Amino acid sequence: MMMFVIFLIVNVGTIGIFYGVYGTKRKYEEGMLMGVHLPGSAAESEEVKMLMKKYRTWTKWFYTLNLLAGIAVCGFCFWYISVFMIVWSIWLVEVCIGAILLLYRTHRKLYDLKMKNGWIGSNGSKIMTADSAVDATVSAQSEKMGMSPLWHILFCGLIVLPCLLPQVRLYLKESEDGWILFLCGFAVNLVFAAVHAVILRTRNTVYSEDVKMNLAVNRLQKNVWSWSLIAGSLFNTGAYLWVTYFMDEKMWIGSEVYIVYIILESVPIFIFMSGVFYIKKKRNRILQNNETLHYVDDDIYWKNGWYSNPNDKRLIVQDWACSFNYTTNMARPAGKISFAAGIVITIVCLLWGCVLMFRIDFTPIKVSVGSDKIEITSGYSDMEIDIDEVQSAELLPKLPNDEYKRVNGSDDGQKKIGKFRGKKTGKCRMYIYVECTPILQINTSDEIIFINSKEKGAAEKWYEKIVQEKNRVHS
């Protein structure tokens, strides 16, 4: 039930975000409609109105149907998780591709209308060509705005600092989840630092013939993004230091600790969103009374929806569809390579995840007891145990009452497979069907293994065979 609720929120939120970013690009503002620079009179023409009417209709149907499909997909959570993940992945890919194609297709049609009707530089237009929109003073001030990205190095240091504590080092040594949290925290700070540096190095935008106004708007944007990213690193570091306190004091990270951790990690999202809205509101207020606005007409480089300008040395540029998103310059080889790599990595990760979960769901747990070792196979991971490493074995009517935390593997309510850590039990491995009994417990010097089977009497046979072989070894 919990997974159903989580993915229901995720799917509804995904449609909401896509609609907010891509589905609402309908207003004529800053000299643009759908990312195409047009005079105000052209935006009110019948051709453009008809095109936008069709776009609104298609947008309404696309997002409504995908919202309903996203809700329906969550129903698969109550069946096999692997089937759900396959269906969910297909739905997500369809939403991503469909939303972008719908937007880009309308963008290109509007661009073709613009070229057909010669709306470039029409009477009453405040649009300037890209070549004429040059402001050397604003460009020269580019790297003098915003806070230094070096602040993120300080936060990286704070994440490393708890490693000086003996208990934290011990927890990291014994628990994989500790290393996962450490590496994630450190990596997030590095990503924020890289994004921070890219934003500060991004060429300033010319909005007006008034140099001071240009500097004010660009300084606003870079300062807000600088502070937002630094705040993001602050909360990310705070989240990690929160869990290290429990590593040091209790050698255990419980569910309530993870809840606070997730809340702290979510704060940067709201900070970034607030920053976007603040920049937009403040920028409009600065520019609203200016009569010498420049709208840089670089539509020819965006005509297909993506940026392709062989004369631009930049690799990363601000996206026209979303002001707080950045894209690559597809005219540069590095732009094509990074785009293709992103697509390939995404597809491989989705396929790998689906195949892994399919194996977990449909590969039965099996145990083979030989004369010198025990072999355990499952859909996630296999293991071998030497008979002489087995200290004891016993049959349990149910899993010992403890708070178990999954370190890796699967815990979908039907199976528990992989490495776990119990608050009392400590390190253990599980290969069990939740609803099946009895459970075979094998104790070794390193860890405890819990195993059972759907096949009636299988666990008892494994237990008898292990005891028999162990007695033989010690006889």
In the chain, the amino acid numbered 282 is K
User: Residue 285 pLDDT more than 90?
Assistant: no
Helix (H, G, I), strand (E, B) or coil at 322: coil
Q: Compute the average pLDDT of residues 86-113.
A: 93
- Given a cut of 70, is residue 134 above it in pLDDT? no
pLDDT value of position 80 = 85
Question: Is the pLDDT score of 120 beyond 60?
Answer: yes
pLDDT on residue 237: 97
Taking 90 as the threshold, does the pLDDT of residue 320 lie above it? no
Q: Which of 113-122, 344-353, 366-375 has the lowest mean pLDDT?
A: 113-122
Q: Which one is predicted more confidently, 247 or 119?
A: 247
- Contact between 312 and 329 (Cβ < 8 Å): yes
Per-residue HEC secondary structure of 204-240 comes to CCCCECCHHHHHHHHHHHHHHHHHHHHHHHHHHHHHH
Residues 154 and 73 sit within 8 Å (Cβ to Cβ): no
Residue 145 has pLDDT above 90, yes or no: no
Question: DSSP characters for 323-391?
Answer: TT-EEE-TTSHHHHHHHHHHHHHHHHHHHHHHHHHHHHHHSPPEEEE-SSEEEEE-SS--EEEEGGGEE
**High-pLDDT (> 90) share of the chain, %:** 46
If pLDDT is split at 50, 70 and 90, which confidence band does 200 have?
confident
Mean pLDDT (the chain) is 86
CA 179 – CA 392 distance, rounded (Å): 31
Structure tokens at 365: 């747990």
Amino acid at site 178: G
d(CA 120, CA 437): 75
Quick count: other Cβ atoms within 10 Å of Cβ 170? 14
261 pLDDT higher than 90? yes
The string of pLDDT tens digits covering residues 218-255 is: 889 899 999 999 999 999 999 999 999 999 998 888 88
pLDDT at residue 38, as a whole number: 86
Residue 324 has pLDDT above 80, yes or no: no
pLDDT at 108: 93
Mean pLDDT over 195-218 rounds to 80
CA distances from 321 to 21, 136, 302, 475 (A): 7, 27, 10, 76
Q: Name the least confident of 22-31, 330-339, 445-454.
A: 22-31
Compute the average pLDDT of residues 288-304. Answer: 76
Q: From CA 334, how far away is CA 366, in angstroms rounded?
A: 48
